Amino acid sequence: MTSQLAIDFTPAVEAIFYARTDAQKAEAHTRGIPDAATPVFVISNGSGQVYELDALFTALAEHTLSPRFRDYGNFRLESERRPGVMEFWGNFHDISHVFSVRCLAGTETARRLNEAIEANLSTPAYAVACVEDDKHQAARVKREAETEKQIRGNV
């Protein structure tokens, strides 16, 4: 009689800490999450709510990211305070769905978020949103310059 070792090749489920209250956010920061035991920390996901991560992946697939975040790390950065931790944050151009997620850089969640964000940034809708945002920013700068000129003229 032989015995065989059963090997499970399904991906490991990552522990996710959803901070739905200020006390839970404080607890997670105190514990230093994300960490090896809890590699994903969801600070916000959905305006006024903290939905499951599936809601964020659905939003990334169906809605256009807001180009206003392109100057601030383009929706993700490696944490300055904690090496090996990726920070994902932003909002959308056509809906309000704020998100802020921190996870260990080597996790499946980090890989999926990077891929979903890259896919969103490569859409024609995002390119159009960038053009609209550029026009809006140029108009704002022009208005501010005119206001400054008027103020200096009245002094």
pLDDT tops 90 at residue 140? no
- The total domain count for the chain is 1
Position 50 in a domain: yes
Has residue 145 been placed in a domain? no
Is 31 inside any structural domain? yes
Q: How far apart are CA 82 and CA 96, in angstroms?
A: 28
What is the pTM for the complete model shown? 0.80
Q: Tell me the per-residue pLDDT of 59-81, one tens digit each, with 9 for 90 and over.
A: 999 999 999 988 888 899 998 88
Structure confidence at residue 142 (pLDDT): 72
Domain that holds residue 52: 16-122
